[in-house]
Amino acid sequence: MTRAEAEALSGELRADGSSIVFTNGCFDILHPGHVHILRTARSFGDRLFVGVNTDSSVSRFKGSGRPVNDLQSRMMLLAELRSVDYVVPFDEDTPLQLITEIKPDILVKGGDYEVVSVVGADSVISGGGRVEIVPLLKGYSTTGIISVLDRIEE
């Protein structure tokens, strides 16, 4: 969905009494760690919006050679997950603008973050919402998967 659609829909859902949850990421190679965070995020509210970094945003953030999978592929996989209600791309270096547009009640990030370092936390908290940090599943990371694949290719 487009950002404008996400902003309008989040307002409609909120007006109907639904709680809005938001998380974001690259989701370059979908793995059980991602699924765990998304499933947990969805459990915090009624509707889960997932912000996905565009290809150029991923390259700026993760470096050359990334993403492995293009934006449309990553969005398609996320949209098929039972826990994900809406998928929205963003091209900025951070999801701050998207967060201010969607105005989630609950902002969720993985356990490699602390609340004080979560982009958009101040905005969500000042609006009466909260930030949830979901513990990571050990042994799962896209960087780790790529590292193993690189060693196999050598």
| Widest CA span in the chain | 55
DSSP 124: H
**Domain residue ranges in the chain:** 3-153
Residuewise pLDDT in 10s, the chain (154 residues): 999 999 999 999 999 999 999 999 999 888 889 999 999 999 999 999 999 999 999 999 888 888 889 999 999 999 999 999 999 999 999 999 999 999 999 999 998 888 989 999 999 999 999 999 999 877 666 555 546 555 666 6
Q: In what order do the strands lie in the sheet with 106-110?
A: 86-90, 47-53, 20-25, 106-110, 130-134
**Token representation of residue 107:** 């902002």
Was domain 3-153 assigned CATH 3.40.50.620?
Answer: yes
